[in-house]
Amino acid sequence: MMEHYQIVIIGGGTAGITVAAQLMRKDKSLKIAIIEPSEKHYYQPAWTLVGAGTFDFKDTEREEADYIPKGVTWIKDKASTIDPKSNKVGTENSGDVGYDYLVVAPGLVMRPDLLPGLPEAMEKGIVCSNYTDPEHTWETLKNFKGGNAVFTQPTTPIKCGGAPQKIMYLAEDYFRKEGIRDKVNVIFATPGTVIFGVPDFARTLNKIIHDRDIIFKPFYAPVRIDVENQDIYFQYSKPGESNCTVMEGNIIGEELTGATEIKIHFDMLHLAPPQAAPQFIQDSEISIQEGPGKGWVDVDIHTLQHKRFPNVFSLGDVAHLPTAKTGAAIRKQAPVLVENLLKLMKTHQVGHESYEGYSSCPLVTGYGKMVLAEFKYDNVRDSDPLISKFVDTSKEQYSMWLLKKYGLPFMYWNLMLRGKA
């Protein structure tokens, strides 16, 4: 006989655990199951610091079992299908699981295969990524002697859009500390149009880039990696530009290899791999079937309720929301989802709680320095009223560095995952 629960949560990461913990705090009698295959739970925001040698990787890892809320059933398995018409989730080994209400929060998956040459480059260790192996990034930094240090990111949505530049600032600071900065070209190449979407924070970051002699290349979309020669190719994607010019004898040795294709040799390359929704999400009817959000879960951006299946909700990285995919976003999404779901269960009407798109990006700009970028939908600045009373979070602050290194991990493990924050 098929197992059946009032609420099934797919995913035991930040979003799934936070929602489960908050639901149990509101009503201990709820019959909830979490479908999650991993035995370990990671605090990924600290991986930026691991990659720069200032945080121990083992301190980012805990046992998943210690964070499944009491009273919640843990189905230690992978979700493999979702059938929203029959109200059931298929799993790889445990059969089908039925639900009255479904919360979809499996996170996203790394897809290095979407960038030709990247899987081989990662296998050989000539590319590093805090997204997959921050300890390798730290080893790469320590062994680097000079040349082109290229930092880039893909055209796909990614977790924490600021992370690719955080490690770039830290690496640049590290090269100064090691006395090799004059032998290094620090290059930040991004498909984006600006260094940061929110003007207040962009002003600060543009000044940092200028003052620290960082080479900023907007409209650079990585298209492939030549592993043998350690070259990365970019498509110059500025709208209306059918060709681009690269000056001969330029400092970083850029070469034009097509009308809008540019080759840069790298001596060190850090990147965020392309990322996507898990395949079972893309294959399910709950995902957007066509258009810009194809493959991501089709939810109302304020209530987090599914647009076509009212008993389905989603939050976190897999939800199609026009804001950054961060743990900070989940902290504001979870209470909205919980209130709206409980109201729906009691009254058959979704609640009126509204998520306004809050996300934050703790932009580490060097050892002991951080800008706390907080914003909501439409790239509107949205600072925490308490913090902004005491500090200007759009400027580099030592206090914000302490928050990143000590305050946020404490809050994550002890408050957020316990349903208290």
197 and 123 belong to one structural domain: yes
Residue 268 pLDDT: 98
**Would you say residue 395 lies in a domain?**
no
141 and 286 belong to one structural domain: no
**Would you say residue 401 lies in a domain?**
no
Is 128 known to be catalytic? Answer: no
Residue 318 pLDDT: 98
Of 108, 361, 363, 417, the catalytic one is: 361
Query: How sure is the predictor about 241, in pLDDT bands with cuts at 50, 70 and 90?
Result: confident
Give the residue-averaged pLDDT of 81-93. 98
Strand order in the sheet with 220-226: 220-226, 231-236, 261-265, 255-256
**Would you say residue 293 lies in a domain?**
yes
Query: How sure is the predictor about 41, in pLDDT bands with cuts at 50, 70 and 90?
Result: very high
Residue 245 pLDDT: 76
> What is the rounded distance in angstroms from the CA atom of residue 64 to the CA atom of residue 419?
15
The helix/strand/coil state of 142 is helix
Tokens of 315: 């939050």
Count up the domains in the chain and report the number.
2
- State which of 255, 274, 293 marks the end of a domain: 274
Is 244 known to be catalytic? Answer: no
- State which of 225, 248, 274 marks the end of a domain: 274
Whether residue 387 has pLDDT greater than 80: no
249 and 132 belong to one structural domain: yes
Question: How much of the chain, in percent, has pLDDT values that exceed 70?
Answer: 100
Give the residue-averaged pLDDT of 56-75. 98
Query: How sure is the predictor about 2, in pLDDT bands with cuts at 50, 70 and 90?
Result: confident
Ordered DSSP codes for 235-259? EE--TT-S-----TT-TT--EE-SS
Mean pLDDT over the full length of the chain: 96
> What is the rounded distance in angstroms from the CA atom of residue 359 to the CA atom of residue 46?
17
130 and 263 belong to one structural domain: yes
pLDDT in tens, 113-155: 999 999 999 999 999 999 999 999 999 999 999 999 999 999 9
**Would you say residue 387 lies in a domain?**
no
151 and 250 belong to one structural domain: yes
Whether residue 243 has pLDDT greater than 80: no
Of 97, 104, 141, 160, the catalytic one is: 160
Residue 43 pLDDT: 98
Instruction: Kindly report the CATH number assigned to the domain that includes residue 311.
Output: 3.50.50.60
CA dist list (Å): 71 to 154, 242, 279, 293, 350: 41, 60, 30, 36, 25
Q: Is residue 162 left, alpha or beta, with left meaning phi > 0 and alpha meaning psi from -120 to 50?
A: alpha
137 and 163 belong to one structural domain: yes
- State which of 221, 252, 274 marks the end of a domain: 274
Range of the domain at 193: 116-274
Type of residue found at 101: Y
192 and 73 belong to one structural domain: no
If residue 208 lies in a helix (H) or strand (E), which one and from where to where?
helix 199-211
pLDDT in tens, 300-322: 999 999 999 999 999 999 999 99
Whether residue 389 has pLDDT greater than 90: no
The helix/strand/coil state of 396 is coil
Residue 421 pLDDT: 87
**Would you say residue 380 lies in a domain?**
no
Which residues contact residue 390 at a Cβ distance below 8 angstroms, ignoring those fewer than 6 apart?
399
186 and 199 belong to one structural domain: yes
**Would you say residue 375 lies in a domain?**
no
143 and 253 belong to one structural domain: yes
Whether residue 219 has pLDDT greater than 90: yes
Give the residue-averaged pLDDT of 3-25. 98
Residue 249 pLDDT: 76
> What is the rounded distance in angstroms from the CA atom of residue 408 to the CA atom of residue 242?
45
Alpha helices in 44-184 (DSSP H): 47-51, 118-124, 134-143, 163-177
Whether residue 384 has pLDDT greater than 80: no
**Would you say residue 362 lies in a domain?**
no
CA dist list (Å): 255 to 155, 222, 246, 260: 21, 14, 7, 11
179 and 268 belong to one structural domain: yes
246 and 281 belong to one structural domain: no
Residue 383 pLDDT: 83
177 and 325 belong to one structural domain: no
**Would you say residue 391 lies in a domain?**
no
